Amino acid sequence: MSTPPDGLPAYRAPAGRDDVTFCRRVSEALALGYEPHDGPAVTFDGRRVIVAQALVRPARGQVRRSGTGVVVEVVRPVRGRALRPPAPAQTRPLV
């Protein structure tokens, strides 16, 4: 498996107490381009709620479904290069 071009891991699974610190860690990862892989795992250790959330970064060129019903190609800039928006022909409706 290759490393994403920006050097970040392709997979992360932050876990911890269900508090603002955990929520910030997940929010920061989402802002970096990670996406949730399924829902969170939640358990109770007898004293507090513990949560975990698997997060993945799509590989460059990977095709995925967007929330709007179109298929989009994931394109990330290589460090130092500008990212141009995709041409309309690069998106197509789901069949």
Is the pLDDT at 9 greater than 60? The verdict is yes
Predicted TM-score (pTM) of this structure: 0.58
State whether 37 and 63 are in the same domain.
Answer: no
Is the pLDDT at 4 greater than 60? The verdict is no
State whether 63 and 89 are in the same domain.
Answer: yes
Taking only the tens place, the pLDDT of each residue in 27-83 is 999 998 899 998 999 999 999 999 999 999 877 655 555 555 544 455 554 444 444
CA–CA dist 24, 20 (Å, integer): 6
Is the pLDDT at 88 greater than 90? The verdict is no
Q: In the chain, how many domains are there?
A: 2
Domain of residue 8 covers: 1-57
State whether 9 and 29 are in the same domain.
Answer: yes
State whether 63 and 53 are in the same domain.
Answer: no
CA–CA dist 22, 56 (Å, integer): 17
* Eight-class DSSP state of 86: P
Higher local confidence (pLDDT), 8 or 39: 39
Question: Which pLDDT score is estimated for 19?
Answer: 95
